[in-house]
Amino acid sequence: SLFPGFAPMPGQPAFYNTARQTWLVFRYDSVQRVLQEYTTFSNERGGLDPLQKKSSSAFERPNMLSMDPPRHRQYRNLAASAFTPRTIAKLEPRIIRIVHALLDRVIDRGEMDVIDDLSYPLSITVIAELLGVPASDQEQFRRWTEDFFQITTPEAQQAQQELGSYFQHVLEQHRREPQDDLITALLNAEIDEHKLTDGELISLCSLILLAGNDTTRNLIGNLLLCLDAFPLAMEQIRANPDLIPSAIEETLRFLPSVHTAPRLCIADTELDDQQIKAGQWVMPMLASANRDASYFPDPDVFEINRSPNRHLTFGYGIHFCLGAPLARLESKIAMEILLTRMHDIKRVGNILLQPLVSPVIYGVRHLPITFTRTS
């Protein structure tokens, strides 16, 4: 395969995977229904996860992602104002400066690693500044993130413990010295006239830190992977950079950096003629839904002009990704600046692509490219 470790199964009916004890769901309609129908498919895990059986320090308390209505809305609202398209648009000048500074470091070398030199430092710096944690801790964040998304390993457990202690310390610092950042705002926020507990704040901050960096880092990586695999698409966006946003949407559809958003079935139901029972785990497979031929003509063609393109990579319904405007803006700016500063972008072909070890995230560990600088 062009993309090692990536094998969606579009159009298949749901089946029960006995080894993992979960239902896997592939069809677009069914995936959409699982994501949307929270009265049957719940996000509340009671500290349990289908892949990862133990609860742990950073996520001991629930956050919006592990809540159903009506609580979900109240908790989501606390962070939502920081992520509206309008608020996010104000970050544009800062994102442009970060991208230029990162490219300044490599522009004379004629080669770079898209992940190490651009997409990771960009996404972690933006989310760290927004939250209010030092971007200089980014190597530590990277280790925690990669370990966390392995989900089932002892390293994943360890990462959550360490993340929990880290944010406990960060909360105490922010209480002593309030800043103009999201953590300070969350410390003062109230639901039904109550402040959030430390456990709730730690869980929310950990969610934003983890969700805000790995997903976007791999979106930018996967975009360059797709453009390398489909040189015609690269020529099209060079000729017309206005196509960058739709090339990003097509990357989200074609090679999504997030693969599933687990649910717990809480009421017996029928799906794809299968009987799903309360208490069983259900995994809607986003990459498979995105290749469903009944929604996407020629689903295996990477078509940057595709319209409509209603991929499910940011989820669907009440849990629709809060960070979507940020992910879209960061990747758009990164690609625009890459194209203005670099010609002849080529993947270093003799280096084997190594997929990240994760049942949830798809991306590559490193993506070396060569280029020539524009004058």
Distance CA 266, CA 268 (A): 7
Contacts of ligand HEM in 282-311 (CB under 6 A): none
Q: Which stretch binds ligand HEM (CB under 6 A): 44-52, 156-164, 254-262, 348-356?
A: 254-262
Distance spanning both ends of the chain, measured CA to CA: 37
Name which position in 102, 276, 322, 337 contacts ligand HEM (CB under 6 A).
322
Q: In angstroms, what is the minimal distance from the CB of 170 to ligand HEM?
A: 16
Name which position in 118, 223, 321, 333 contacts ligand HEM (CB under 6 A).
321
Residue with tokens 């979960």: 22
Q: In angstroms, what is the minimal distance from the CB of 213 to ligand HEM?
A: 7
- CB burial readout 51-87, b (16+ within 10 A) else e: bbeebbbbbebbbbbbbbeeebeebbebbeebbeeee
103 binds ligand HEM (CB under 6 A): no
Q: Is 11 left (phi over 0), alpha (psi -120 to 50) or beta?
A: left
124 binds ligand HEM (CB under 6 A): no
CB-nearer residue toward ligand HEM: 56 or 290: 290
CB-nearer residue toward ligand HEM: 65 or 225: 65
CB-nearer residue toward ligand HEM: 63 or 106: 63
Q: In angstroms, what is the minimal distance from the CB of 300 to ligand HEM?
A: 20
Contacts of ligand HEM in 257-276 (CB under 6 A): 257-258, 261
52 binds ligand HEM (CB under 6 A): no
Task: Select from 257, 214, 244 the least CA-distant residue to 338.
Answer: 244
Q: In angstroms, what is the minimal distance from the CB of 211 to ligand HEM?
A: 4
Residue 163's contacts (CB-CB under 8 Å, 6 or more residues apart) are 57, 58, 144, 148, 202, 206, 209, 210
Q: In angstroms, what is the minimal distance from the CB of 95 to ligand HEM?
A: 12
Q: In angstroms, what is the minimal distance from the CB of 130 to ligand HEM?
A: 8
323 binds ligand HEM (CB under 6 A): yes
Residue 368 pairs in a beta bridge with: 113
Q: With residue 226 as reference, give the H or E element that holds it.
A: helix 198-229
CB-nearer residue toward ligand HEM: 180 or 273: 180
Distance CA 289, CA 325 (A): 22
Distance CA 213, CA 207 (A): 10
Contacts of ligand HEM in 162-221 (CB under 6 A): 207-208, 211-212, 215-216, 219
Q: In angstroms, what is the minimal distance from the CB of 321 to ligand HEM?
A: 3
Q: In angstroms, what is the minimal distance from the CB of 208 to ligand HEM?
A: 4
Task: Select from 329, 133, 305 the least CA-distant residue to 216.
Answer: 329
Say how far residue 271 (Cα) sits from the centre of its chain.
27
Distance CA 26, CA 40 (A): 18
| Pair 347, 113: CB distance under 8 Å | no
Q: Residues 60-99: x/- map of binding to ligand HEM (CB under 6 A)?
A: ----xx----------x-----------------------
Q: Which stretch binds ligand HEM (CB under 6 A): 87-95, 165-173, 253-261, 364-372?
A: 253-261
364 binds ligand HEM (CB under 6 A): no
Distance CA 318, CA 322 (A): 10
Name which position in 102, 112, 170, 327 contacts ligand HEM (CB under 6 A).
327
| Total residues interacting with ligand HEM, rule: CB under 6 A | 24
Say how far residue 195 (Cα) sits from the centre of its chain.
28
Letter for the amino acid at 14? A
Residue closest to ligand HEM when measured from CB atoms: 323
CB-nearer residue toward ligand HEM: 44 or 198: 44
**What pairing do the DSSP bridges indicate for beta strands 22-25 and 281-284?**
parallel
CB-nearer residue toward ligand HEM: 106 or 261: 261
